[in-house]
Amino acid sequence: MIGALAAALYFALPAGTLLAVADRFDKRPARPLLFIGNSRTYYNDMPGMLRKMADSAGAKERFDIVMRALPAGTLQLSWNDPETRRLLKQQWHDVVLQAESNAQSSERGTADFFDYGERLIREAQSTGAPPTVIVNWVYGEDLFKDRQPGMRAWYYGRIQRDYARLSSMTGARLVNVAQVWERVHDAAPELPLYRDGNHPTLQGSYLSALTLYAHFSGTDGSAVTYVPDGMSTAEAAIIRRMVGDLVR
């Protein structure tokens, strides 16, 4: 299963899938996207959700998605990974980066976040692909129960500041999944977003994918009708409403 993966996941929608067969008859212009990330990225096939959302909303472009997501992957690990570097040299319409969840938990981690984040962003920019960085959500409350009061809010604030700084340094665009996540978590605490205090549930991955779709489409995401098996239409509606409220 996902948690037992011992090697990097490499997922390419256009090759070797039923979707690839359908794509041969899909005359829409292709929009190639590269995802570079980690387990937060590949849980529940979040990039695949993005493609299905775009199709369900009648997107005029075909989202052709390739993902290079390393288990326990950090930006440093991605930078040092030959396959990631090879992919970055190809032509993409968009490159999406997702950093490690604990990047803000130590001074060394933060330094690596800026160092290797900038390296990956510059590499994407060198081929003309505008990089997009997912602002990571903060860990769940259970992982802070032994910490001093207010530590979770402090960590969330540091995430926001560090990502804003990285964007200012490099010109990379931000997709603030963390902000939407907190809004949904506060407004609908019964909606499960965390699988283990860190990784996303199906609902959490749906939230990430929908926030990305709103960003790439320039819409509020309300045209999306796709709801994955195992998730209720009511849960999807809550997430769509929150995403829409933040992007309008």
Q: Which tens digits make up the pLDDT trace of 66-122?
A: 999 999 999 999 999 999 999 999 999 999 999 999 999 999 999 999 999 999 999
Q: What's the chain's length in residues?
A: 248
Q: Could you say which DSSP state residue 43 is in?
A: G
- Place 25 in a pLDDT band, splitting at 50, 70 and 90: confident
Per-residue pLDDT averaged across 173-195, rounded?
97
- Place 16 in a pLDDT band, splitting at 50, 70 and 90: very low
Write down the pTM of the prediction.
0.91
Domains of the chain: 7-247 (3.40.50.1110)
DSSP 195-218: SSSSSB-HHHHHHHHHHHHHHHHT
pLDDT at 138 over 80: yes
Run of H or E including 50: helix 46-56
